[in-house]
Amino acid sequence: MNETPFALTGDFIELCKLLKACSLCDSGGAAKHAIADSLVKVDGNVETRKGCKIRRGQRVEYNGQTIAVL
């Protein structure tokens, strides 16, 4: 699995915005569909809330990619 670091500038980022910001989804709509279809994991658990707050130290997995939030 490829791991991509993401430097968080605030306290958190919403899951759908993170997927779009890291170019794992072409649009926010595509990110929302991927999350709704249970294709995204946060810290190893399937996450279905598009507005889930992702904070430093968490890992997001989607489509064979891992985002490490720093």
Has residue 21 got a pLDDT over 70?
yes
Has residue 1 got a pLDDT over 90?
no
Q: Residue 33 carries which side chain, given as an amino acid letter?
A: H
pLDDT in tens, 29-65: 999 999 999 999 999 999 999 999 999 999 999 999 9
pLDDT average, residue stretch 9-27:
96
- The pLDDT value recorded for residue 26 is 95
Tokens, residue 57: 């130290």
CATH 3.10.290.10 fits domain 2-69? yes
User: Could you tell me the residue ranges of all domains in the chain?
Assistant: 2-69
